[in-house]
Amino acid sequence: MKFALVCSPLALAACAGHTPPAVVANPATATAEPDAGGGIYKVGTPYQVEGIWYYPAEDYAYVQEGVASWYGSDFHGKRTANGDRYNMDDLTAAHPTLPMPSVVKVTNLDNGKMLRVTVNDRGPFHSTRIIDVSKKAAQLLGFYEAGTARVRVEIDAEESITLKNIALKKRPPEMPQIVAAPRGVVTAANIEPLAPIPGNSLPPGAVKPVSVPPVVAPPPPSAKSPAQVPKASAPVKKTAPEAKTPGGIYVQAGAFSEEANARKLEQQLGELGKVHIVPTTVNKKKLYRVRLGPVADATVAAALLTKIKSFGYNDAKVVRE
């Protein structure tokens, strides 16, 4: 799968160096209220793509200027990074670090158009781009034909917190299961009182002091007392390292000609298990296969395959190595 981008550096260069009058995007669409969609609230942990580290965080003061791109039919209907369904006709976007879902205001610095979109995916994994918007958003912002545009991205803190609360209310995060430590059985026993000691002048109920024997210093090192003679340790029986089973059963979710697309799918499937990106060459063409596993057996693989296909990756398959 590839991003459906038609980049035109000449078009961008022609727009640079002047400030055109502000243009208001289609009011009927641009003012539509974003919603939390069907995905979960997710921030995520730091991750690395093509040597670049990204650090997701709840940054409700986020403002940045850079280049925007768009993605469309190749991902239409598939799961986003927070489990939502991507619809290229919705006002959504992919961002590498902002919470999902959150609302951002995207302003096209070349024509002044501004649009509010909901972030529900991760990307773009490109050093010069800061956001990927949906096809519809690119059309309304006026850079669908050019493929990219200079933009300002600013988070709407109030709307983003509202969407966070809605998403958490619909699907609260799972609490970790804490197993209590086993507790021993405590039984009570009747203890006979001690008989009084003759001549004891202590009042009834008082505790009689107990004399502590003096501490005897250990013999000097030269003394070869039996306690100091080290015992010969029994030989430790070394066990051979456990042999690793070669290969295993994997579920291949897809194969991509661009590593960035494979990394995006890796992020989307990360919660299902251990994901591997396996480079290969087919007919002199470099491909990046995205696989999960190894899994325990064929039954587990079949269940995982069904789950991945429900996300829209119909080319997924079980492979054995």
Q: Hey, where are the domains in the chain?
A: 9-170, 249-320
- pTM for the predicted model, two decimal places: 0.51
Q: Rounded to an integer, what distance in angstroms lies between the CA atom of residue 131 and that of residue 92? A: 10
Backbone angles phi, psi at 63, to 5 degrees: -145, 130
Backbone angles phi, psi at 81, to 5 degrees: -65, -20
Q: What length is written for the chain?
A: 321
pLDDT of residue 180: 47
pLDDT of residue 183: 55
Q: Give CA 88 to chain center in angstroms.
A: 24
Sign of CA dihedral 289, 293, 296, 301: negative
From first to last of its 321 residues, the chain has per-residue pLDDT tens of 333 333 333 333 333 333 333 433 433 334 444 556 678 999 989 998 888 899 999 999 999 999 999 998 889 999 999 999 999 999 999 999 999 999 999 999 999 999 999 999 999 988 789 999 999 999 999 999 999 999 999 999 999 999 999 999 888 765 444 444 455 555 555 656 555 555 555 555 555 555 555 655 566 655 454 545 455 555 555 544 433 334 689 999 888 888 888 888 888 888 788 888 999 888 888 888 999 888 888 888 888 888 888 877 888 899 888
CATH code assigned to 9-170: 2.40.40.10
CA dihedral defined by 251, 257, 261, 266, rounded to 10 degrees? Answer: 30
CATH code assigned to 249-320: 3.30.70.1070
Is residue 58 within 8 Å of residue 47, measured between CB atoms? no
Backbone angles phi, psi at 161, to 5 degrees: -65, -35
Output the CA–CA distances (angstroms, integers) from residue 30 to 124, 138, 153, 157, 167, in the order listed. 22, 12, 15, 18, 22
